[in-house]
């Protein structure tokens, strides 16, 4: 795990220059991974929460939180029990804090610029079994991640003047009509009216959403939808 922490060029990650301190991320993650007592855990948490992945006093989150999220989850699974609690607390804080203008997204390997909260939620859902196994604390974190849904389109058919899009839903798309960001080849388009047509069945992530006033050719397979409100979150 330490090699994975050191392999990241934290200085190259964007962040508000007055608030983001990349050195705090590397030192904080290493210290939290190696912590053997409460004092060491508290010191590591202070580094990460005071300008590393978040700035707790101003309730700001930095793009570095997305890269740190899977490392914090590794620490939660493998580290000291107190380190686990601190790691989960930092993830919860990162999910709920707001980014500074100009630093609101994390760029995925495919070039998709995903809102920070949605990217963190994706990492949390990847560890659903672990988090759910922790009981109330882990389930609460998953519940906080649920509104930051993600829908990957697999197939579309025309339905009147609308499109019925079938695909994979992660998180919870609430009832009603919502705005969504459509991510395609690095470009983002806002869809003004998206609604859940058929929710996932038990033990399956497959769902159907209706995209109002859009033709199937506008929604090719592989398109990913995110809640538009997440892209508007700013400190």
pLDDT tens digit sequence for 123-161: 999 999 999 999 999 999 999 999 999 999 999 999 989
Query: What pTM does this model have?
Result: 0.93
Q: Can you read off the two tokens belonging to residue 113?
A: 């610029």
109 — pLDDT class (breaks 50, 70, 90): low
1 — pLDDT class (breaks 50, 70, 90): confident
Supply the pLDDT for residue 187. 86
Residue 13 confidence (pLDDT) above 70: yes
State phi, psi for 91 to the nearest 5 degrees. -65, -40
Tell me which of 112 and 208 has the higher pLDDT. 208
Supply the pLDDT for residue 9. 94
Supply the pLDDT for residue 110. 66
Segment 56-84 shows an average pLDDT of: 93
Sign of CA dihedral 170, 98, 1, 109: positive
106 in Cβ contact with 114 (< 8 Å): yes
Tell me which of 234 and 162 has the higher pLDDT. 162
* Angle made by CA atoms 22, 61, 57, in degrees to the nearest 5: 95
Residue 56 CB coordination number (10 Å): 16
* Rg of the chain on CA atoms, in Å: 19
Supply the pLDDT for residue 58. 84
Q: Which of 108-122, 162-176, 218-232 has the lowest mean pLDDT?
A: 108-122
Q: Can you read off the two tokens belonging to residue 122?
A: 């994706």
């Amino acid at each position: 795990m330490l090699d994975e922490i050191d392999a990241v060029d934290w200085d190259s990650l964007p962040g508000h220059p007055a608030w983001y301190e990349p050195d705090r991320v590397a030192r904080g993650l290493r210290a939290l991974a190696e912590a053997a007592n409460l004092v060491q855990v508290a010191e590591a948490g202070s580094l990460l929460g005071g300008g590393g992945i978040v700035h707790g006093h101003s309730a700001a989150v930095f793009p570095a939180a997305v890269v740190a999220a899977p490392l914090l989850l590794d620490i939660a699974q493998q580290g000291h029990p107190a380190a686990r609690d601190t790691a989960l607390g930092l993830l919860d804080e990162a999910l709920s804090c707001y980014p500074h203008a100009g630093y609101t997204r994390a760029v995925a390997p495919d070039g998709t610029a995903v809102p920070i909260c949605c990217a963190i939620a994706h990492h949390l859902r990847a560890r659903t079994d672990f988090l759910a196994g922790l009981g109330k604390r882990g389930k609460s974190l998953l519940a906080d991640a649920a509104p930051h849904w993600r829908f990957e389109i697999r197939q579309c058919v025309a339905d009147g003047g609308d499109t019925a899009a079938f695909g994979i839903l992660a998180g919870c798309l609430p009832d009603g009509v919502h705005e969504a960001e459509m991510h395609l080849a690095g470009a983002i388009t806002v869809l003004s009216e998206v609604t859940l047509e058929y929710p996932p069945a038990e033990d399956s992530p497959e769902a159907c959403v209706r995209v109002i006033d859009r033709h199937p050719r506008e929604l090719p397979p592989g398109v990913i939808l995110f809640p538009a409100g997440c892209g508007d979150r700013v400190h």
